[in-house]
């Protein structure tokens, strides 16, 4: 299974479209957005695909956006972090601004922690845990996303051209 990871799109839906097209070409079967999505146009790019996301510090999870997400079939996160099991591996997804994020990451009962917020790529191992930030699709140089094959523990970063 190949997972496409993106973050910090801040409403830049055309850049997100480029990232989703890349994920399609690479064969990603699940997408994870690590927050600071930026509204309906970005969610429209994710709609119709198996995906998950978390709210970022600039997102506004009001009733209108929640209703929209329900109409396009995207699940609304209900806990921090969002917990997923994909390809037999456990994931905790944060944005990175949450109070819970910095606390004892290595003690989480997961294989991978995914986050955004810093707009800086990250691939770090804390004991048996792998912490990944795909970079950002706004205010980053270069703009980047990542793909992860969790069963092989293979991560790749990909640049997105403006």
7-63 pLDDT, tens per residue? 999 999 999 999 999 999 999 999 999 999 999 999 999 999 999 999 999 999 998
Domain that holds residue 40: 3-159
CATH of the domain at 40: 3.60.21.10
Provide the 3-class DSSP secondary structure of residue 155: strand
Task: Count up the domains in the chain and report the number.
Answer: 1
pTM, two decimals, is: 0.97
- Average pLDDT of the chain, as a whole number: 96
- According to the model, what pLDDT value does residue 102 have? 81
The answer to whether residues 21 and 5 touch, using CB atoms and an 8 Å cutoff, is: no
Please name the residue ranges forming H helices in the chain.
13-26, 40-46, 63-72
CB-count burial class (<10 Å; 0-12, 13-18, 19+) for 121: middle
Q: Is the pLDDT of residue 103 over 80?
A: no
SS3 18: helix
pLDDT digits (tens, 9 = 90+) for 67-78: 999 999 999 999
Coil, strand or helix at 23:
helix
Q: Is the pLDDT of residue 106 over 90?
A: no
């Amino acid at each position: 299974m190949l997972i496409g990871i993106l973050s910090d799109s801040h409403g830049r839906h055309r850049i997100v479209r480029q990232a989703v097209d890349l994920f399609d070409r690479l064969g990603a079967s699940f997408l994870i957005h690590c927050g600071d999505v930026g509204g309906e146009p970005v969610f429209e790019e994710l709609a119709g695909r198996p995906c998950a996301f978390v709210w970022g510090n600039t997102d506004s999870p009001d009733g209108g956006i929640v209703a929209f997400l329900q109409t396009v079939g995207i699940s609304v996160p209900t806990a921090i972090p969002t917990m997923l099991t994909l390809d037999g591996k456990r994931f905790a997804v944060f944005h990175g601004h949450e109070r819970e994020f910095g606390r004892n990451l290595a003690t989480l009962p997961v294989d991978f922690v995914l986050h955004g917020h810093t707009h800086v790529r990250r691939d770090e191992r804390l004991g048996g845990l792998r912490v990944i930030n795909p970079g950002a699709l706004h205010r980053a140089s270069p703009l980047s996303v990542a793909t992860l094959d969790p069963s092989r523990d293979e991560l790749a970063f990909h640049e997105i051209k403006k």
